[in-house]
Amino acid sequence: MLKPLGNRVVVEPLKEEVKGGIILPETADKEKAEKGKIIACGPGKLMDNGQRAPLEVKVGDTVMFKKYSPDEIKVEGKEYLVLEESDIMGIIE
């Protein structure tokens, strides 16, 4: 698995489930996910004094993040997203 550095996290994107009779255009599936589950966290941002600022999120959290901020990667054929903690808007409880 990929181990993120600094204040980065690895997220498994969650697909939105569409219910009802709404027909989505073909491009809807090609949009990046806005929700995901954190599967790996870096150690935190290294501050000027040499200490690390701990992350506010943890492995297992489901988060919402800025739509176009993550970098897409594939590990063993599975798609993941890597983003900085500052791009996370909140934890979904």
- pLDDT, tens digit, 9 for 90 and up, residues 47-88: 999 999 999 999 999 999 988 889 999 998 999 999 999 999
**Which domains, ranges and CATH numbers included, belong to the chain?**
8-15+31-92 (2.30.33.40)
Whether residue 6 is predicted with pLDDT greater than 90 in this model: the reply is yes
Which stretches of 1-93 are assigned E, i.e. beta strand?
8-13, 35-41, 45-46, 52-53, 62-65, 71-75, 78-84, 88-92
Q: Contact, 60 vs 40, CB < 8 A?
A: no
3-state secondary structure of 83: strand
Q: What's the pLDDT tens digit per position in 18-48?
A: 556 665 555 555 555 589 999 999 999 999 9
Residue 7 main-chain phi, psi, to 5 deg? -100, 30
**Model pLDDT, residue 46:** 93
Query: What is the value of pTM for the model shown?
Result: 0.79
